[in-house]
Amino acid sequence: MSLETGIDTVDHGRRALIDAMADFFRILDDPLLDHAMVAERTGAVFLAMKAAFAAEDAFFAARGLNAEAHQARHGALILAYVDLCKKVVPKIKNLKQAQQICLEIYRIIDGSLYGHLKDEVQEYRALLRDRPQVA
């Protein structure tokens, strides 16, 4: 997987997050798509995001590394995601609205969150190169 960092605990959280993102995308074609289903799946992405970011925080803390900027990026991603979901998910009244809102949310997930995960890979790999004992 191109998003693997080489750090088991971090990669485990990332895989769970990517799985949650994929599950969210899969519901677009469900003819029973409704407010409850969207809320459930956006919640699953949120929980996976929190768990993945917590694993990363623990990795940095266990090694005494300063991760304030890293944590700030995660906080901004979580805040943007939660704000968007709070604004749009309650507006779902029918299948068409649910599909449109899912697409809007998925654009954010794909552009911001997935992009962030992809961008971090090199940072983690550099940490492993610079500090081989960290693996």
Q: How far apart are CA 22 and CA 85, in angstroms?
A: 17
Q: Specify if 3 maps to a domain.
A: no
pLDDT given for residue 135 in this prediction: 40
Its domain, for residue 54, covers 8-134
pLDDT given for residue 131 in this prediction: 64
Q: Specify if 104 maps to a domain.
A: yes
Q: Specify if 123 maps to a domain.
A: yes
Q: What is the pLDDT along the chain (135 residues), one digit of tens a residue?
A: 588 998 999 999 999 999 999 999 999 889 999 999 999 999 999 999 999 999 999 999 988 888 898 899 999 999 999 999 999 999 999 999 999 999 999 888 888 888 888 888 888 888 888 764 544
Q: Specify if 1 maps to a domain.
A: no
- Write the CATH number for 24: 1.20.120
Q: Specify if 92 maps to a domain.
A: yes
What domain count does the chain have? Answer: 1
